[in-house]
Homo-oligomer: A and B are copies of this chain.
């Protein structure tokens, strides 16, 4: 560490929900090599949960969250952020629209996650994808995985219903019930060839999983946290977009 760290500010577009934002911030802290307060990444955080429901908008059932997200993104840019991160998988459906509206790079959670899949030795021949129905439909992970030659193993309809229950149980703090819904789906995806399991919903990494599953799990929130640290420290990284320093 240099004695005068020259760290770039990163903006976090959060509030979707607020617990996922706190989790991302804690993972940024843990991923930072720091001895003193001032070695830590300067973060400006828009943690405003009053955003129209992303799943409802994707079902055509409510207003778009994009205007509220743009208010936050523009504000973060005005505060000196040199990159943006969105602390929600489902909201990444609007990441490209957001990127077109700002002049700083959006660090995409799926870019960060797929870069970590590819860095595994060896990279998985196929990877399971666990998240909300809306995140899976948006295709943000599948396209990037396919571009790197990793097929996505997706839950069938009954398995997806179990994952939705597990996510709701985590939000309600019902961890035992969440595990009971999650584990059979994870096991089934492994049986169908998934050598890694991408937990593409910010609630799922909070689950206490059996030790046997853990080496397969990939936490995109942690991958995004590492991309934030790498960007802030000015190191080149996958998924960081153009350098704007």
Give the residue of B7, B25, B44, B46 whose beta carbon is less than 8 angstroms from that of A25: B25
Give the residue of B39, B45, B49 whose beta carbon is less than 8 angstroms from that of A47: B45
Are A50 and B38 neighbours in the complex by a CB distance under 8 Å?
yes
A144 to B16, CA, bound (A): 38
> Hey, which chain B residues are within 8 Å of A40, CB to CB?
15, 17-18, 49
Least CB distance from A4 to B in Å reads: 10
User: Is A92's CB within 8 Å of the partner chain B?
Assistant: no
Are A44 and B42 neighbours in the complex by a CB distance under 8 Å?
no
Are B49 and A38 neighbours in the complex by a CB distance under 8 Å?
yes
User: Is A146's CB within 8 Å of the partner chain B?
Assistant: no
Interface residues on chain A, number (Cβ under 8 Å)? 30
> Hey, which chain B residues are within 8 Å of A79, CB to CB?
46, 75, 79
Stoichiometry, as copies per complex, reads 2
Interface residues of A in 1-40 (CB under 8 A from B): 5, 7, 9, 15-19, 21-22, 25-26, 29, 37-40
A26 to B23, CA, bound (A): 9
User: Is A43's CB within 8 Å of the partner chain B?
Assistant: yes
> Hey, which chain B residues are within 8 Å of A25, CB to CB?
18, 21-22, 25, 47
A194 to B52, CA, bound (A): 49
User: Is A48's CB within 8 Å of the partner chain B?
Assistant: yes
Least CB distance from A206 to B in Å reads: 13
> Hey, which chain B residues are within 8 Å of A21, CB to CB?
25
> Hey, which chain B residues are within 8 Å of A18, CB to CB?
25, 29, 37, 40-41, 43
Are A42 and B48 neighbours in the complex by a CB distance under 8 Å?
yes
A residues neighboring B (CB under 8 Å): 5, 7, 9, 15-19, 21-22, 25-26, 29, 37-51, 75, 79
| 7 A-B contacts (beta carbon < 8 Å) | A15-B37, A17-B37, A18-B25, A18-B41, A19-B29, A39-B49, A42-B50
Task: Identify 4 new A-B residue pairs, CB closer than 8 A, beyond the known A15-B42, A22-B25.
Answer: A18-B40, A18-B43, A42-B48, A45-B47
